[in-house]
Chains A and B, each alone.
Chain A
Amino acid sequence: QQQVKQSPQSLIVQKGGISIINCAYENTAFDYFPWYQQFPGKGPALLIAIRPDVSEKKEGRFTISFNKSAKQFSLHIMDSQPGDSATYFCAARPYSSASKIIFGSGTRLSIRP
C-alpha cells in the first residue's frame, strides 16, 4: 500500500509566525502533490499543488517545497493568521491510478492571536 506520512499531527503557531507541515512518501510513482485545507464542519478544499519537476511553488503566503531525492514535501504558511486555523492534508496522486489520490493523516493548525 502506497503511503503518505504527515507530521506533526497538531501545531500551534503565534500570529505572524511561520507554520510548517511536512510530508514524506514511500515510493517515486507519484506525479501530483496537492495540499488540501479543511475548516471545521466543511469538506476539504484544494489549497495549492505541485508537480515533481519543480522544487518550489508559491501562492501568496503559501509555499510548497519539494525535495524529490528525499521524497519529502512541505507546506509553509508565512505570516500565519488566525483565519489559517484549519486542518491541512497533504496528498499524492499515483501514476498507476490517475483517478485516485492518497491523503496524509492531517495536521490540525491553530494560530494564536
Chain B
Amino acid sequence: NAGVTQTPKFQVLKTGQSMTLQCAQDMNHNSMYWYRQDPGMGLRLIYYSASEGTTDKGEVPNGYNVSRLNKREFSLRLESAAPSQTSVYFCASSAKYEQYFGPGTRLTVT
C-alpha cells in the first residue's frame, strides 16, 4: 500500500516550457487535491477533484490545468511555466476528513 505517490520528485524548467506532474493514490479515495507550498504562505489549493469526472478551481488556479484521469490518478499541467511557479507541489487524497499527502515535487523555473 503506497498511499499517495508523485512523480517526478525534482524538476527544473526554463520559462515557457510545459510539464505535467503526476499523482496516484491506492486508497480508493474519491477526492484528490493539488497544493503548492511557498515559504510563509502555507499550503494553497490549486485545484481539487471531489470525485472522478469533476474538477474545481482552488485559491490559486491561474497558469495550471488538471485532469482527473480515473479514480486513482490526478495530474497537474503547467502549459507555459513562469518563475512565479517555482514551488513545492503536493498532491493529496481524502475519503472524508483526513487528507493524505504525497512526498511532493520540487519545481524550479528559471
Q: Which residues of A contact B (CB under 8 A)?
A: 1, 6, 9, 32, 34, 41-46, 49, 89, 93, 98-106
Contact = CB atoms under 8 A, between A and B. Distances in A.
Q: State the majority secondary structure of interface residues on A.
A: loop
Interface of B: 4, 31, 33, 40-45, 48, 50, 58-59, 90, 92, 94, 96-104
B42 A32 contact: no
Q: State the majority secondary structure of interface residues on B.
A: strand
A89 B37 CA distance: 12
A104 B42 contact: yes
Contact of A42 (B50, B98, B103): B103
Given A34-B97, A49-B97, A99-B31, A43 B102 contact: yes
10 contacts: A9-B40, A43-B4, A43-B92, A99-B50, A100-B45, A100-B48, A102-B45, A103-B42, A103-B44, A106-B43
Contacts of A100: 33, 45, 48, 58
A89 B90 CA distance: 14
A6 B98 contact: no
A32 B94 CA distance: 14
A11 to B, nearest CB: 14
